[in-house]
Amino acid sequence: MKDPSGRTGSAIRRAWQRRRRPPEPPALIRTPRPSLTYRLISYLLVFPIYRLLYRGRTAGNTNVPHEGALVVVANHGSHLDPPLLGHALGRPVAFMAKAELFRVPILGPIIRACGAYPVARGASDREAIRTATDRLLQGWATGVFIDGTRQSNGRVNNPQAGAALLAARAGVPLLPVAIINSHLALGPGGHRSRLVPIHIRIGTPIPPPASRRRPDLEATTRACQDQINALLDQGLVRPALPASS
Instruction: Say if 176 falls within a structural domain.
Output: yes
Residue 101 has pLDDT above 80, yes or no: no
Distance between CA 216 and CA 168 in Å, rounded?
9
Q: Identify the top-confidence range among 35-39, 132-136, 158-162.
A: 158-162
Residue 65, classified by CB atoms within 10 Å of its CB into exposed (0-12), middle (13-18) or buried (19+), is middle
Instruction: Say if 152 falls within a structural domain.
Output: yes
Distance between CA 140 and CA 122 in Å, rounded?
24
Residue 66 belongs to what domain range?
A: 29-233
Judge whether 195 and 181 are in contact, CB under 8 Å: no
Q: What's residue 143's pLDDT?
A: 93
* pLDDT tier at 19, thresholds 50, 70, 90: very low
Instruction: Say if 117 falls within a structural domain.
Output: yes
Residue 99 has pLDDT above 50, yes or no: yes
Instruction: Say if 126 falls within a structural domain.
Output: yes
Instruction: Say if 78 falls within a structural domain.
Output: yes
Q: What is the chain's mean pLDDT, rounded?
A: 83
Q: What's residue 163's pLDDT?
A: 94
Q: What's residue 27's pLDDT?
A: 39
Residue 87 has pLDDT above 50, yes or no: yes
Q: Which CATH number is 71's domain given?
A: 3.40.1130.10
Give the residue, 38 or 204, on which the prediction is more confident. 204
When pLDDT is averaged across residues 83-100 and rounded to a whole number, the result is 86
Q: What's residue 18's pLDDT?
A: 46
Q: What's residue 21's pLDDT?
A: 44
Instruction: Say if 218 falls within a structural domain.
Output: yes
Distance between CA 59 and CA 237 in Å, rounded?
7
* pLDDT tier at 25, thresholds 50, 70, 90: very low
Judge whether 172 and 207 are in contact, CB under 8 Å: no
pLDDT digits (tens, 9 = 90+) for 34-67: 778 888 888 888 899 999 999 999 999 999 998 8
Q: What's residue 113's pLDDT?
A: 74
Q: For the chain, how long is the longest CA-to-CA vector?
A: 93
Q: Write a three-state SS string for 80-104.
A: CHHHHHHHHHCCCEECEEEHHHHHC
Instruction: Say if 20 falls within a structural domain.
Output: no
Q: How many domains does the chain have?
A: 1
When pLDDT is averaged across residues 188-210 and rounded to a whole number, the result is 88
Distance between CA 120 and CA 188 in Å, rounded?
23
Distance between CA 101 and CA 108 in Å, rounded?
6
Instruction: Say if 19 falls within a structural domain.
Output: no
* pLDDT tier at 23, thresholds 50, 70, 90: very low
Query: 11-25, 79-93, 124-138, 144-158: lowest mean pLDDT where?
Result: 11-25
Distances (CA, A) of 12 to 1, 16, 178, 188, 193: 16, 6, 63, 73, 76
Percent of the residues in the chain that have a pLDDT greater than 90, as a whole number: 47
